C-alpha cells in the first residue's frame, strides 16, 4: 500500500509525457522573424481588447517555456502562476486578462452560484479560485454559458483571430488554444498559440486533433 501514491505519480507523469509525445508528432511550429515578432506584439494607439489579447498570446511564446500542471495557490483576482510556466488554459487566461477579462474572477463568480452546472470531475465540493479557471472543461462551460459557443467546422475560414478552440487529444485528454492572426502560408489556416508540454508555442495545429469546442468572445 505504501507504493500506491508513488504509482499514481508515475501514471500521471506517463499520461503527461504521452500528451507531449502526441504533440511532437502532430504539431508544426511557426517561426517568426524578429521583425515579424515585433509587429505581432506591437500595440497601436486605439488597440482593441482583441488586439491586446492577440499581441499578448504571441508575447507568451517568448516567455512561457515549460508546462507545469501543479496545483498552486495564487492571488485573487488577477492571480497567476509564474509566467515562465503554466498549462494550456493559462494561455487563454493570460491573453484574455490583457484584453480586459479576468477569467479567474469570471469563472469563480459564475461557479459560486452555479457550481452544479460545471463539470463534476475532480471531486471538488465547492469552487476553488486557485484552479477552476485553469481547467479546460470549466472554460468551455463558461464560454458556452456566456453564449460564445459557435458551430464546429472543418473549414479553416470559419475560424478567426482571437477565437478559442478546444480539442480532445488522441489519448482522451482535453486541450485548448487561441487562434492567432498569423496565417499559415499557402493555406486558409491561422496558427494557434497553445501549450501542450513545451511552453507556449505558435503552431499549425488547428486541425491536429478532434475539435470539440469553438468560441468567440471578442
Q: Residue 18's pLDDT is what?
A: 40
> Do β-strands 201-203 and 210-215 pair in parallel, antiparallel, or remain unpaired?
unpaired
Low-confidence ranges of the chain (pLDDT < 70): 1-27
Q: Residue 24's pLDDT is what?
A: 46
Q: Residue 6's pLDDT is what?
A: 52
Domain ranges (residues) in the chain: 4-215
Q: What are the tens digits of pLDDT across the range 151-201?
A: 999 999 999 999 999 999 999 999 999 999 999 999 999 999 999 999 999
> Do β-strands 210-215 and 164-168 pair in parallel, antiparallel, or remain unpaired?
antiparallel
Report the run of H or E that residue 37 belongs to, with start and end: helix 34-41
Q: Residue 51's pLDDT is what?
A: 98
Neighbours of 122 (CB within 10 A): 11
Amino acid at each position: 500500500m505504501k507504493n500506491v501514491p508513488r504509482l499514481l505519480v508515475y501514471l500521471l507523469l506517463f499520461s503527461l509525457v504521452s500528451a507531449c509525445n502526441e504533440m511532437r508528432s502532430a504539431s508544426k511550429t511557426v517561426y517568426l522573424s524578429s521583425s515579424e515578432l515585433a509587429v505581432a506584439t506591437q500595440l497601436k494607439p486605439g488597440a482593441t481588447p482583441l488586439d491586446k489579447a492577440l499581441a499578448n498570446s504571441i508575447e507568451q511564446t517568448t516567455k512561457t517555456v515549460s508546462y507545469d500542471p501543479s496545483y498552486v495557490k495564487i492571488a485573487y483576482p488577477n492571480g497567476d502562476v509564474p509566467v515562465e510556466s503554466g498549462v494550456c488554459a493559462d494561455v487563454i487566461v493570460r491573453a484574455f486578462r490583457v484584453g480586459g477579462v479576468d477569467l479567474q474572477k469570471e469563472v469563480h463568480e459564475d461557479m459560486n452560484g452555479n457550481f452544479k452546472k460545471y463539470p463534476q470531475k475532480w471531486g471538488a465540493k465547492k469552487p476553488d479560485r486557485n484552479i477552476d479557471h485553469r481547467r479546460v472543461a470549466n472554460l468551455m462551460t463558461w464560454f458556452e454559458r456566456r453564449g460564445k459557443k459557435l458551430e464546429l467546422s472543418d473549414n479553416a475560414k470559419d475560424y478567426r483571430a482571437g477565437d478559442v478552440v478546444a480539442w480532445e487529444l488522441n489519448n482522451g485528454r482535453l486541450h485548448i488554444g487561441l487562434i492567432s492572426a498569423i496565417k499559415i502560408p499557402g493555406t486558409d489556416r491561422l496558427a494557434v498559440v497553445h501549450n501542450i508540454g513545451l511552453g507556449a508555442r505558435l503552431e499549425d495545429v488547428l486541425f491536429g486533433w478532434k475539435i470539440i469546442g469553438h468560441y468567440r468572445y471578442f
